[in-house]
Each structure stands twice: as C-alpha cells, then as structure tokens.
Homo-oligomer: A and B are copies of this chain.
Amino acid sequence: MTFQIKSIETLINEFRKLPGIGPKSARRIVFSLLGQSEKEIKDFAGALIDMKEKVRFCKNCFNLSEEDECPVCKDSSRNRETICIVEKPSDVLVIEGTGEYRGLYHVMGGLLSPIENIGPDELKIPQLIGRISQLNTTEIIIALNPTVEGDSTATYLSKNLKPLGVKITKLASGLPVGGDIEYADQITIGRAISGRREM
C-alpha cells in the first residue's frame, strides 16, 4: 500500500527497518507522531542523534559507555577479581538487571564462528587475557547463550584461560523458573539432571 504524502511514507519506511515493527505498526506509530507537538518530535530526533554521538565502547571491557570507561569499570565498589564474559552489550544490561552480580564484565561482541571468519582476535580475547593478569582475576564467569556457538566459544575460552590459573565457571543450564517439565525439551531436561544440586 503506497501513500502519496512523501514525508509520511519516508518516516513509515524508517520505522519498518526497526526490529519487530511491521507495516501496520509503523503506520500506527507515524500517525501517533503526527499528533505530537513540534517539541516532542524534536526531543525524539535529538535523542537519536545524541545517542549516536555519545555512545562508544569502554576501553577496558568493551561495554557501551559515554566515557572512556563504562559505569561498571568506574565503580570502585565492584569486585575487581571476577570477570563475567558476555556476547553483547545488551547482555550486560540483563545481568545488571538481576542485581546478583557485583564483578566486572568483558563484552566479546560476538561468538567464535569459523564460517563467518570470527576468530579470537575479533572477540577481544587477547585483551581479556591482558586484563586477567593485570587485575589478578580469580574467577571468570562465562555467560554465553546455551547454543552450539555459545557452547563451543565457552569451551575454547575455558581451554585457553585455564593455564592462567583462574577458576572458570559458566551459567547453570536447566529448567527456567516458572517453567514446566512437561514442556521443556529433552536437552534442557538432560542438562538439568546432570547439573542437579543437593538441597
């Protein structure tokens, strides 16, 4: 369905590029924006530009940051002897949301993938090794997705970091809280059994 008003059509197309937004949602959003004041629209556009200009990567852990060091690295109350390895910056946000973790992070920016030519250097692994010796890290927590790529990257990390004399753990795999054994897949149940804990 084409629309004959060019600036509206252009904006609908911009929204359609975003993840999870289809043609009907995009139209609905644009028509709701048409009802907003000039100030509100300028604030929205300004927030877009502002984010792009300000956000960069932390020089230590490659988390997102508006400064050289991210808020986690700068926080002196955090435990500097533990590093949690995650795939992407949004994972930091999720883990921070739990309030369960008070150590540092290392954001790899991807997972090992020989097909896509992503090797250890692309994943900031040399930098990670540098930090481990500099910080006298005692524990590395591997928090990668429990997928084929995540597991093989975890295995690679474990094999290459163990010689540094650091304890390596990874997130527990098992039934999600609130989940139902009846609907869980066999691999998940298998991992939940092998990783069972004494009560």
Contact = CB atoms under 8 A, between A and B. Distances in A.
Copies of this protein, total: 2
A66 interface: yes
A33 B64 CA distance: 13
Contact of A7 (B25, B41, B66): B66
A48 B44 contact: yes
A182 interface: no
A31 B51 CA distance: 11
A33 B14 CA distance: 11
Contacts of A38: 52
A183 interface: no
A48 B20 contact: no
A126 interface: no
A34 B4 contact: no
A148 to B, nearest CB: 23
A5 interface: yes
A10 B51 contact: yes
Interface string A20-59: 1100010111111110101001111111111110110000
19 contacts: A1-B93, A7-B54, A8-B51, A8-B55, A10-B50, A11-B48, A11-B50, A14-B48, A18-B29, A18-B33, A19-B29, A20-B25, A30-B51, A33-B52, A34-B51, A34-B64, A38-B52, A42-B49, A48-B48
Interface of A: 1, 3-8, 10-11, 14, 18-21, 25, 27-34, 36, 38, 41-52, 54-55, 64-66, 70-72, 88-90, 93, 96-97
